[in-house]
C-alpha cells in the first residue's frame, strides 16, 4: 500500500454498489469524481443513499494490483445535505 497524496475538504456522496452503501468523490476540483472513500460503515448507513458528505481530510492510497481509493481521516465523514 502506498500513500500518494492528501486532500482537504473532500466532497463525496453515498451510493449503492453491489448491495452495499459506499461513498465516492464528487465535485472536487483537485480530485477526480468517482474515487471510492473508505469511511465508517455506521455513518454511511445512518443517512439515506445519495447524501452529500464532506471528509475533513482524505489520503489517496494505491494498493498493488488494485484501483486507487481514498481513506477519510479517522474514517469520519460529515453530512452536508
Is residue 79 situated within a structural domain?
no
Can you tell me which residue has the cell 482524505? 58
Residue 9 domain boundaries: 2-72
Q: What pLDDT is recorded for position 47?
A: 96
Helices (H), 2-81: 41-46
Is residue 23 situated within a structural domain?
yes
Number of domains in the chain: 1
pLDDT tens figures, 34-60: 999 999 999 999 999 999 999 999 998
Is residue 49 situated within a structural domain?
yes
Residue 17 reports pLDDT greater than 80: yes
Amino acid at each position: 500500500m502506498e500513500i500518494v497524496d492528501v486532500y482537504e475538504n473532500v466532497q463525496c456522496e453515498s451510493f449503492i454498489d453491489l448491495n452495499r452503501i459506499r461513498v465516492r468523490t464528487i465535485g472536487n476540483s483537485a480530485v477526480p469524481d468517482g474515487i471510492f472513500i473508505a469511511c465508517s460503515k455506521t455513518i454511511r448507513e445512518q443517512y439515506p443513499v445519495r447524501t452529500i458528505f464532506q471528509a475533513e481530510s482524505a489520503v489517496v492510497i494505491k494498493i498493488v494490483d488494485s484501483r486507487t481509493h481514498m481513506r477519510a481521516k479517522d474514517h469520519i465523514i460529515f453530512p452536508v445535505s
